[in-house]
Amino acid sequence: MNDEQQPLDENKIISERRAKLTQIRGSAASAYPNDFKPDSNAADLHTRFDHIEAAELEPMAVAVAVAGRMVLQRLMGRASFATLKDGAAQLQIYVREENVGAEAYAEFKRFDLGDILAATGTLFKTRTGELTVQVKTVRLLAKSLRPLPDKFHGIADPEIKYRQRYLGLIADSSTRDRFEKRSRILGALRAFMVGNGFLEVETPMLHPIPGGAAALPFKTHHNALDMPMFLRIAPELYLKRLIVGGFDRVFEINRSFRNEGVSTRHNPEFTMLEFYAAYTDYRWLMDYTEKLLRHLAQIATGGEVFHYQGREVDFASPFDRLTITAAIEKYAPEYKGQDLSDVELLRRELKRHHVAVDEGPLASAGAGSLQLALFEEVAEHLLWQPTFIIDYPVEVSPLARPADGAKHLTERFELFIAGREAANAFSELNDPEEQAERFRAQALAKEAGDAEAMYYDADYIRALEYGMPPTGGCGIGVDRVVMLLTDAANIRDVILFPHLRAEEPS
């Protein structure tokens, strides 16, 4: 079937189905009744009765009331088969004219694939051993006006899968399986945090000052207060206020928003786990994060070693820990032995990799920022096995505590798995005067044109002035972890309703 024929055929089918709906509306029957309550679901019935032999099942006369979407129909004279799908499982029904009556049987034969049906009857097994309902009554609960995708070819266009997620869930069982696994991962994550003494909290999604990360926010306006507001880019500063208030361990599974590009690993709206623990540091956080991810891998894959996009990922072994320069030398050996604190060398090498260093944030950057930029070019994408990159420069870590004995570095790590960042964490900066100075530096950067630089948050400084204990904090990209544990190549595959460009008018 060619592309021009497809819409014409679909329009014809829709027109025919609308005519059937009009006919139903003209009869005494309700077009969309809501008086049927199933007492059984397909998955449970298969679990309970699949192992029972046909000769044992029939005398039991198990009565059931089932409902679901008709995904298969085989019309055969005065007796027909159909398959109903409810949730994750399917169940066959057998409809005989002598059991349901001539009028009901004729109506059943006019039902279309995709219609939501209700059926009552008793269970039996066919000669091939398939669990089936011998139908006594069958009726329409909801008319499907649009045809389902071809069951053999599914949905070829990935954009349709994302834009019409409901259709993908109907047509592709692997899509449903992935989101059920996502739900289990989130449940396991929450249970692990609570089991380790963390309190789950909720913080605002509308912020008067966007903070907690270097990112471009979405801006809106609160009419009643007549003030600008921002969708949160991170909950960090609010969670640390709670540490000041005396909650020693807090976490939030939150939705955050960043007004940045869309790609296979970025969605403007995404899910993060952020957690903070008083009297810990970034080394404690590395150990804890390893334990958490191993636990999630066990729940999602059944083990600590699994495959992602055809390559093995090992969560069982201790995660590697490298500084930025050590990672550059390991994954780009041509830099081994070179002076990676030499600003001119770094700028020259970045230019060779087509990175703009004469304009934008890197124009006046020091060695630390330039090292990070070189790392991102030559090493980051090669970090397949889980690797903590540690000790980030102060100028790119405005909320992190400086390292003892090396004030130009911070006690910070980012975790990379399968060539992309999965987590960001640090020992928190709890010195209010130094934090204020860092905010002022960020404000100057914003005035100089850095749209992602942080705002000065005076209330957060005031909170720190009351005293915040030594604290470690971590943010984990939940969507990226789910991608990894469900073998999804695109972040859109693990977000039920990802953001897309406006749909072209048909």
Out of 10-24, 67-81, 140-154, 394-408, which region has the weakest mean confidence (pLDDT)? 140-154
CA angle 146, 148, 153 (to 5 degrees): 145
Dump pLDDT digits (tens) for 277-323: 999 999 999 999 999 999 999 999 999 999 999 999 999 999 999 99
When pLDDT is cut at 50, 70 and 90, the band that residue 7 belongs to is low
CA angle 203, 209, 210 (to 5 degrees): 75
Q: How far apart are CA 483 and CA 494, in angstroms?
A: 6
Question: Is 50 exceeded by the pLDDT of residue 445?
Answer: yes
Q: How far apart are CA 189 and CA 299, in angstroms?
A: 10
When pLDDT is cut at 50, 70 and 90, the band that residue 44 belongs to is very high
Question: Is 60 exceeded by the pLDDT of residue 186?
Answer: yes
When pLDDT is cut at 50, 70 and 90, the band that residue 6 belongs to is low
Question: Is 70 exceeded by the pLDDT of residue 506?
Answer: no
DSSP 8-state symbol, 216: P
Taking Cα atoms as reference points, which of 90, 93, 91 lies closest to residue 105? 93
Residues in a beta bridge with 83: 72, 92
pLDDT of residue 189: 98
Question: Is 50 exceeded by the pLDDT of residue 175?
Answer: yes
Question: Is 60 exceeded by the pLDDT of residue 123?
Answer: yes
Q: How far is CA 12 from CA 19, 178, 402, in A?
A: 11, 34, 68
Dump pLDDT digits (tens) for 203-243: 999 999 988 888 889 999 999 999 999 999 999 999 999 99
Residue 410 CA, chain-centre distance (Å), reads: 30
Taking Cα atoms as reference points, which of 286, 277, 284, 288 lies closest to residue 249? 277
Residues in a beta bridge with 370: none
Question: Is 50 exceeded by the pLDDT of residue 3?
Answer: no
How confident is the model over 184-188, as a mean pLDDT?
98
Contacts with 251 (C-beta within 8 Å, 6 or more apart), sequence order: 193, 198, 199, 200, 201, 239, 273, 274, 275, 276
Dump pLDDT digits (tens) for 78-110: 999 999 999 889 999 999 999 999 999 999 999
How confident is the model over 19-34, as a mean pLDDT?
90
When pLDDT is cut at 50, 70 and 90, the band that residue 505 belongs to is low
Q: Do 413 and 431 touch, CB atoms closer than 8 A? A: no
When pLDDT is cut at 50, 70 and 90, the band that residue 27 belongs to is confident
3-state secondary structure of 19: helix
Q: How far apart are CA 496 and CA 123, in angstroms?
A: 35
pLDDT of residue 275: 98
Strand ranges (E), 51-187? 63-76, 79-86, 89-96, 116-125, 131-142
Overall pTM > 0.95: no
When pLDDT is cut at 50, 70 and 90, the band that residue 448 belongs to is confident
pLDDT of residue 151: 62
Q: Helix, strand, coil shares of the chain as percentages rounded to 5?
A: 40, 25, 35
How confident is the model over 417-422, as a mean pLDDT?
97
Task: Mark out the alpha helices in 196-280 (DSSP H runs).
Answer: 236-245
More confident residue, 226 or 363: 226
Q: Do 88 and 173 touch, CB atoms closer than 8 A? A: yes
The chain-wide mean pLDDT, for the chain, equals 93
Question: Is 50 exceeded by the pLDDT of residue 1?
Answer: no
pLDDT of residue 2: 41
How confident is the model over 8-15, as a mean pLDDT?
88
